[in-house]
Amino acid sequence: MNQTSSTPMPLRRSIAVNQLGYPAEAAKSFVYAGPGGEFEIVDTSSEEVVYRSTTGPSHWDEASGATVCRGDFGDLRTPGTYRVSLNGQSSAAFVIDSNPYTDLQQGLLKAFYYLRCGMELEEPFAGPWKHHACHTSEGIVYDDPSLRLDSCGGWHDAGDYGKYTGPGAKAVTDLLLAYEGNPGAFQRSIPLPESDDRMPDVLHECRYELEWLFKMQDPRTGGAFHKLTTKQFPPLDVMPEDDRAALYFLPVSATATACLAGVMAFAARVYRPFDDAFATRCLQAAERAWAWLDRTPPHPDGPGFKNPSDVGTGEYGDASDLDERYWAAAELYRTTGDANYHEAFRELAALPFAKYELGWTNMSGYGTIAYLLGAEASAHTDADLRATLQQGLLAEAERLALRCAEDGYLTSMRPEDYIWGSNMLLMNNAMLFLIARRLGGEERYRELALEHIHYLLGRNVLDISYVSGFGDRPVNHLHYRPSVADDVEAAVPGLVSGGPNRNLNDDYMQEHLQGLPPAQCFVDHELSYAGNEVTIYWNSPAVFAVSQFVK
């Protein structure tokens, strides 16, 4: 059910459900912030009680700061629209359906279209969120101001209008992995301006970003510029086409270069059946980036990229580039079968850094995934290394599973995980569960991933959907410049909010959220950039997770 601009947000309820609904054959539960007891499931069309049971025992949940209990109703599989009734209170209405997340998946993916830079978003595709083309001027190369390059295209990274190589590579990779893992979920047109009957829209959307990433490869060296931004962020109420400050290609970094190599090598495989010339171009870019890395010593402990003194946009600094190199080597080996890339991967795998992370600060998990998935089709991988990495990934999934058993809302989030971008951690963990299941892990990992989707869509202590436009209490006042400036009451739909942040890293949070438990450290307000901003790499793992439950 989509929230419209004229629909007032209901008051927060103590009974938290996934406000969209539950797959008919899956486990189903709600969480109640209270002492529990007998509950009823009511059919909203007939007002008849169709299911009765009793909640489990109550217990204190540290992250939410509440005494909670859970009510299970997995036996109810009849399609319909329902609500939970308990102790005189009611939940949001929700559906039970064989395929309840098709619109959600489409919305999460369509959000990338709204984030496009450099083209007019026309009303037939953008609706009321249309706007003129933006940021079409050439960019200035920061360390050689006499050099100007085409900078047009790609996705705005977040609530600002910057564009960043590493985060863009993560987002594209999540989407390509989602398509690779369940291509049938992407057969329906969004639609996009490029939609045709030949290539799925997810690949059209990724290509829009990949075409821009080509422009981030320094034509002089083959390294990748770290980012393309103005020197300072524009005010919050500025539409993208009105942001006319000079754009700068900020200096090449090893992390950005390795990310470009990794995502381009992956793209070369995925696009080969659809566009051979484009796939070849992707592989050439990847190999040229690797050549730059090959002649540039790694920096395992810094210094990584730092903003120049006159630049105040997002830094995305990263002290170590070992994880990004590890990922790049794995993707290049999987794509080409070249023994040199295999040897580079083996050497990097022997070094002491985490191998299962999926965030922009540590991209190692993508290297592990590429190697393990590639091993399914190759007889030339290192069997011992493959076994070690697979055992490690499954052990990581089991570690997260143990956390789920302890959490009041059934997620893998600990109190200390509610940081800036906590919903990215949430969805990254859901991704890891689903990858672990694909690589031979237990079936319950799939169910645990679904519990994370339930949290995102409202089964949380705040009874809020963290996806704009979806659910009956969705975020709507995002820290996102177009939604602040466009005079449209409803936020751009399908955007994932950053989520609760116990560190209260912005002034608005510090003023309004002092003393709250970690999972309650959130406010749906445009000034809360450390809690209510959006980014491409918060949406992308959500697309991955949700798409694996779409038929």
Place of tokens 């422009």: 215
CA dist 192 and 171 (Å) reads 18
Taking only the tens place, the pLDDT of each residue in 84-139 is 999 999 999 999 999 999 999 999 999 999 999 999 999 999 999 999 999 999 99
Supply the Cα-derived Rg of the chain in whole angstroms: 23
Confidence bin at 380 (pLDDT 50/70/90):
confident
What topology does CATH give the domain 115-319+331-351? Answer: Glycosyltransferase (1.50.10)
- Rounded-to-integer distance, Cα 463 and Cα 441, Å: 31
The one-character DSSP state at 193 is T
The model's confidence at residue 377, banded by pLDDT at 50, 70 and 90, is low
pTM above 0.85, yes or no: yes
Q: What's the mean pLDDT in 284-303? A: 91
Confidence at residue 4, expressed as pLDDT on a 0 to 100 scale: 42
SS3 of 34-86: the string is CCCCEEEEEECCCCCEEEEEECCCCEEECCCCEEEEEEECCCCCCCEEEEEEE
Is the pLDDT confidence value at 2 over 90?
no
Q: Looking at the predicted structure, is the pLDDT value of residue 379 above 70?
A: no
Axis crossing angle, helix 364-375 with helix 422-438, rounded to the nearest 10: 20
Alpha carbon distance 422, 428 (integer Å): 10
Tell me the one-letter amino acid at 53.
S
- Calpha distance 413→406 (Å, rounded): 10
Span 408-462, pLDDT tens digits: 999 999 999 999 999 999 999 999 999 999 999 899 999 999 999 999 999 999 9
pLDDT of residue 5: 46
The b/e string for 284-318 (b: 16+ C-beta within 10 A; e otherwise) is ebbbbbbebbeebeebeeeebbebeeebebbebeb
Domain parsing of the chain, residue ranges? 115-319+331-351
What would the 3-class secondary structure string for 253-318 be?
A: EHHHHHHHHHHHHHHHHHHCCCCHHHHHHHHHHHHHHHHHHHCCCCCECECCCCCCCCCCCCCCCC
- Is the omega angle on the peptide bond into residue 145 within 30 degrees of 0, that is, cis? no
pLDDT for residue 356 is more than 60? yes
Express each pLDDT in 459-471 by its tens digit: 999 999 999 999 9
What token pair was written down for 133? 């083309």
Token pair of 374, please?
């590639």
Mean pLDDT of the chain: 96
Residues 434 and 396: beta-carbon distance below 8 Å: no
Give the pLDDT confidence of 177-194 residue by residue, as tens digits: 999 999 999 999 999 999
Read off the pLDDT of residues 451-499 as tens digits, 9 standing for 90 and up: 999 999 999 999 999 999 999 999 999 999 999 999 999 999 999 999 9
Assign 103 to helix, strand or coil.
Answer: helix
How confident is the model over 324-342, as pLDDT tens digits?
999 999 999 999 999 999 9
**Predicted local distance difference test score (pLDDT) of residue 498:** 98
Residues marked active site are found at 524, 533
